[in-house]
Structure 1
Amino acid sequence: MVLKTFRLDSSKRYQVVAEPLTPETFAPYGGVISVDHQITGLVEASQANYGTAIKLHKVAPVINEYGNCSSGRKASANWNIFRCKAPTHLIKHGGTKSVYLSKVLERHPFTTQTFLPLGQDLSKKAYLVIVAKTDDSSSDNLPDPTKIRAFLCKGNQSVTYGVGVWHAPMVVIDETIPYLDFAVLIHENGVAEEDCQECYFVPGFNIEYTLDTPNL
Structure 2
Amino acid sequence: MNRIFRTEPLTAPAFAPFGEVLEATGSPDRLINQGLCGRFHDRAVLDFGPETLPAGRAGISLFHAEPRSLPYRLELVERHPEGSQAFLPMTQHPFLVIVTEHPEAKPRAFLTNGAQGINLRRGTWHGVLTPLAAPGLFAVVDRIGTSPNLEEHWFDSPWLVVSGAGQA
TM-score (norm 2): 0.88
Among 124, 132, 135, the alignment partner of 1:173 is 132
Among 90, 96, 109, the alignment partner of 1:128 is 96
SS at 2:128's partner residue?
A: coil
One-letter code aligned to 2:17:
P
SS at 2:46's partner residue?
A: coil
- Which protein is bigger by CA-based radius of gyration? 1
Instruction: Report runs of 4+ in structure 1 exceeding 3 Å deviation.
Output: none
Cα deviation for residue 63 of structure 1 reads 1.1
2:44 equivalent to 1:60: yes
Among 51, 54, 74, the alignment partner of 2:35 is 51
Among 78, 84, 91, the alignment partner of 1:106 is 78
2:155 equivalent to 1:196: no
2:42 equivalent to 1:74: no
Residue segments in structure 1 that go unaligned for 5+ positions in a row: 1-11, 92-97, 135-142, 211-216
One-letter code aligned to 1:33:
L
Q: How does 1:135-174 map to 2 (within 5 A)?
A: 143-146=103-106, 148-174=107-133
- Determine the structure 2 residue equivalent to 1:18: 7
Cα deviation for residue 131 of structure 1 reads 0.2
One-letter code aligned to 1:21:
L
Residue segments in structure 2 that go unaligned for 5+ positions in a row: none
Among 136, 139, 147, the alignment partner of 1:183 is 139
Give deviations 1:41-72, integer Å, cap 9, x for gaps: xxx71222232222212211111214243xxx
Give deviations 1:165-203, integer Å, cap 9, x for gaps: 0001111222xx3x31111110132222xx111101122
SS at 2:157's partner residue?
A: strand
Kept in 2, the 8 Å contact 1:22–1:34? The answer is no
Kept in 2, the 8 Å contact 1:66–1:111? The answer is no
Kept in 2, the 8 Å contact 1:18–1:208? The answer is yes
Q: How does 1:82-101 map to 2 (within 5 A)?
A: 82-87=63-68, 91=69, 98-101=70-73
- Point out the structure with the larger helix share: 1
Q: Determine what percentage of the aligned residue pairs are the same residue.
A: 26
After superposition, the CA RMSD in angstroms is 1.8
For residues 145 and 68 of structure 1, what CA distance do their matches in structure 2 show? 30
